[in-house]
A and B are shown apart, each in its own frame.
Chain A
Amino acid sequence: MKELTISSDAPGERLFVLGNEAIARGAIEAGVQVAAAYPGTPSSEIMETLAVVAKDVGMYVEWSTNEKVAFEVALAASICGVRAMTSMKHVGVNVAHDPLMTASYIGAKGGLVLVSADDPWMWSSQNEQDNRYIAEQGYIPILEPSSVQEAKDMMADAFKLSEEFKHLFMVRSVTRIGHARSDIVLGEISRERRKGSFKKDRSWLVYTPAEARRNKPLMLERFERIKKAANTLPYNQLRLADGAKLGIIACGLSYSYALEAVKWLGIEDKVSVLKIGTPHPLPQELVTRLLNSVGKVLVVEELDPFVELHVKAIAGEANIPVKIHGKDLLPVIGELSTRAVTEAIAKLTNSKLPVDFAALDKLGQEVAPLLPLRPPALCPGCPHRASHYAIRVASRKVARDYGKEVEPIYPGDIGCYTLAYNPPQEAVDTCICMGGSFGIANGLAHVVDAPIIAHLGDSTFFHAGIPPLINAVYNKANITMVVLDNSATAMTGFQPHPGTGYTATGDKTVKLKPEDIARACGVKFVEVVDPFDLKKASETIEKAIRFNGPSFVVFRRLCAIIDQREKRQRGEKTVPYRVDQDKCNIKCGACVKLLGCPAIIKQDAKPIIDSSLCTGCGICAQICPYKAIIQE
C-alpha cells in the first residue's frame, strides 16, 4: 500500500499530522493557488509543508521578504480571482498591519485567508499579543479551531466563506494547535484551477479618501451579513443541559480543556456549554440563549478577555440577570490547562477537585531547587559564538578610549543570536522586534556617547534591516551595523531567503549579498569577515567601530547545524578537539567561562570536551592562553 501523505487525494483516510500540516492540508483541499509567508514560530511549518508539495498540487508558494509583502502577494492574487493565503506568527501580523487594515474595505474576489499563529506564554516570542483585537480593529472575521482536525476543516471552509461573503477571513491558531499532533480525517481536494485576471476598477482598488468613504459602508454591510451567519456556522455549538445553573462559553482550543475539565469533575449533565469557533463576530443569538438559561457563566479563553467583554456587552444590552465570570478565575497570562479550567469550574459548582493539585504544587516547589538550569543555548560550533566574542573583545577595547566607565552598547534582534543575551556572551542589550537592532542603534547614536554595535541575522536583515540602514546613512548615525550571516533562517528551521540563492520551492534564483546592499545604500565602510578567524574578525570590527560614520560588517559562516548535516552527507568526518590536561591550567577556565559552549564541560574541576558534541570549530583552541586545546 502506498504511504499516505499530506497531499494524498484520499478522502476519509486518517493521517497523523502536526497542526500546521493540518492547516496546510486545509489549504490544499480548498484548491489554494497562491500562498506566501515569512517564517515565524509557531507558524513556519504551514508554508514549509506547502512548499514541498507546491509543484505537485499546482500551487505557487513563496517565502516573502517579510509579512507585509507576503500579505500583499496573497491580496493581489485574491483581487485577481484566485484563492490565496498567507500565514505568519502573531507579531508578524503587526508588520502586515498597514495593508491588512484596508483589506476588509477591498473585500475578497478569490477566497483570501490570513493565518495568525498566536503564541500564548511566549514560548518563542517577544510578547503575548492577542490578535483577535487586530481582527476586530480591521473588521476581519475569525475562525478559531478547538483541535487539529478543526484547524484543517476551518482552513478548507475559510476560502468558501471568504468567497461567499466577499471578505477576508482570519484563521487564528495558537502554539498548541500549530505544534499539536493528532490524527485527522482527510477531505476531498478541489482540483479547480482558475486563471487570474486583473480588471482595472478604481471603485474598489484605489483607496483615495473619496473611494475609501464609499467603500466603508459597503464593508460594514458585508460584516453585518457575516455576523448573522455566525449563528448557524457549525463551528459554534450550543448544548443546553436541563436545569443547568452554570453555562460555560469556551473559545477555540480552550473548548478542549473545558470538555476534559467537565468530564474530570463528572458534571457533564449539569452544565450547559457553548463552543465558540467564531470569537469575532460572536454568534449573538446562541450567546443570548445560553445567558437566558443559566444563573452564571464562565468564559474560558486564553490571553485577553476578548469573548468575555463581548458576552458582557450582550448581557448588558439585553438586561439579562446573569453573573459572568472569566478572567477573575482564569489567568490572563500564558496557556490555559485542563487543571486551570477544572479549578475554575469546581469553584463555581462547589465540586470536589479530582486531584490534590496543592500537593502536586508543593512537590514541584520541593523539586525546583534541585533542577539544573537548562536554557536554550547557542549550538556547539555556532558561528555566532565566535562573532560575539570578536565583537566583545574589540568593542571593549574601543570603549576604553571613550572614557573609563564607558561600556559598548549592543542592540540585538530576533533570531538564534538572541540567545547570546545569556552569560557568558551577554552581547544583547536590547531585543524588541525584527530589524529593531539597527533602528534602536539609530536613536542611541544621537543621545549617548559610546560605541554602538547593532547586530541582526541575514534573514532579519532582508526582512526589516534595510530601511534603518538607509536611515543611518541619511541621518549620519555613527553606528556599526553587523550582519551575522549564517546563510539560513536558522531559528525557525532553515528556510531559504533572498541571500541563499534558492526559492521556497527549491528553484535557483539571484543570491543577494548584504554587503552589496550596504554599499549601494551609501555606507562607506563595508567589510566581510569569517568569524572563525578570530584575530581578523576582531581587527575588522575594531576598525569599523573606530570609523567615523555608519559602518557595516558581515560575519559570514554557515550555520553549524547545516554545516554538520552537509558534512555527513558528503561523508566527511568531524575531527573534535580535546584538552591536553598536561598543558591545561585548571585555574584559568577561559574556555568554559568565555565561550559557554555546550561541548565544553567541567569534570572534577577540569575542562573536558565532549567529543560527541564538538564540531571541530576550534574557537576554544584559538582563545586558550596555554595552547592546551588540540585537535585529535
Chain B
Amino acid sequence: MVKEFNILITGVGGQGVILMSELLGKAAVKDGLRVRGSEILGMAVRGGSVTSIIRIGDEVYGPLIPMGKCDVLIGMEPSEALRNITYLSKSSLVIVNIAVTIPFTVSIGESKYPSLEEILEKLSNASGRVIKLDAAQIAQEAGSLLTTNIVILGALFGTGKLPIGIETIKETIQRRFPAKTAPVNIKAFDLGYQACQQALCQ
C-alpha cells in the first residue's frame, strides 16, 4: 500500500508538463493506485510558469502538495524548480533539466536570470539530492527534441522511487503516441532512465 507520494512537475508553457502528469496519472490508475493532482490552465500560463501536481496514495485527499512534503520535484527548467523550493525537505529528490529558458522580461531588462550554479546550490541545500540532466541533448540522441519531457519522465522512473511499474508507464506512453512517434518516445524514456541511474551511481 502506498500512503502518500508527491510529485511536483515545474516548467514553462510548451514544455509538455501537463502531458507528463497525464501519463503518470493514467499509469498509476492502471496499477490500481489512487491519484490526485491539479494544475493551472488558461490565462495564467500563456508562455509563463507551469506547475502540475501528481499525488499518489491512500492517504491523499487534497489536490495540492503541502509545503515541505514533495517527494520528487521535477524542473523542466532550472529557475522554475527554484521557484518551488518551499515544497522540498531533506528527504526530497530533485530532477533538473539544465537547459535554461530565458523569459522576455530578462531581455527587456525587467528582471535577471540567476546562474545555474546558484540555482543548483540552493536546491541542493534544501533537498536530499539533486540529479541534473541535459534532457534536450538526450532527447536529440533519442531522435527528437520534442521528447525532452519523456526523457525526464524516464529519469523519474530511473530513481527507483516510484510506486508505478515501468512496464505500465511504457505501455501508457506507447498508447498515447501515434505508431510513428511512439518508438522515439520509448527510446527517450529508456535513455532518460539510464541517465538517471548513471547519475545516481556517481
Contacts and interface: CB of A to CB of B under 8 A. Distances in A.
Interface of A: 3, 14-16, 41-42, 44, 123-125, 147-148, 175-177, 179-183, 253, 256-257, 259-260, 263-264, 335, 337-339, 342, 355-357, 360-361, 363-364, 367, 370-379, 416, 418-419, 423-424, 491-493, 592-593, 596-598, 600-602, 607, 612
A374 B61 CA distance: 30
Contact of A601 (B43, B68, B85, B107): B107
A602 B80 CA distance: 20
B63 to A, nearest CB: 4
Interface string B134-149: 0000000000010000
B37 A182 contact: yes
B124 to A, nearest CB: 13
A378 B122 CA distance: 31
Interface of B: 12-13, 21-22, 25-26, 28-29, 34-49, 54, 59-64, 66-69, 79-80, 82-83, 85-86, 89, 102-108, 110-114, 118-119, 122, 126, 145, 175
B85 A378 contact: no
Contacts of B54: 181
19 contacts: A16-B26, A123-B40, A181-B22, A181-B39, A257-B61, A337-B62, A338-B66, A360-B68, A363-B86, A367-B82, A367-B83, A371-B111, A372-B102, A374-B80, A423-B108, A423-B110, A597-B104, A598-B104, A600-B107
Given A256-B62, A355-B89, A370-B114, 15 more contacts: A16-B35, A42-B42, A176-B38, A179-B41, A180-B37, A260-B61, A357-B68, A367-B83, A367-B85, A372-B113, A373-B111, A374-B48, A376-B13, A601-B102, A601-B107
A612 B13 CA distance: 14
Nearest to A359: B68
Given A374-B48, A602-B107, A183 B35 contact: yes
A259 B22 CA distance: 25
Nearest to B50: A374
A596 B107 CA distance: 8
A41 B42 contact: yes
Nearest to B30: A16
Contacts of B62: 253, 256-257, 259-260, 337-338
A187 to B, nearest CB: 17
B37 A181 contact: yes
A359 to B, nearest CB: 9
Contacts of B36: 147-148, 180-182
Contact of B48 (A175, A181, A377): A377
Contact of B106 (A123, A364, A416, A602): A602
A131 B142 CA distance: 50
A379 B14 CA distance: 11
A41 B43 CA distance: 8
Contacts of A376: 13, 43-48
B43 A182 contact: no
Contact of A364 (B41, B45, B85, B108): B85
Contacts of A257: 61-62
A183 B119 CA distance: 35
A414 to B, nearest CB: 9
Contact of A15 (B21, B29, B61, B107): B29
A180 B63 contact: yes
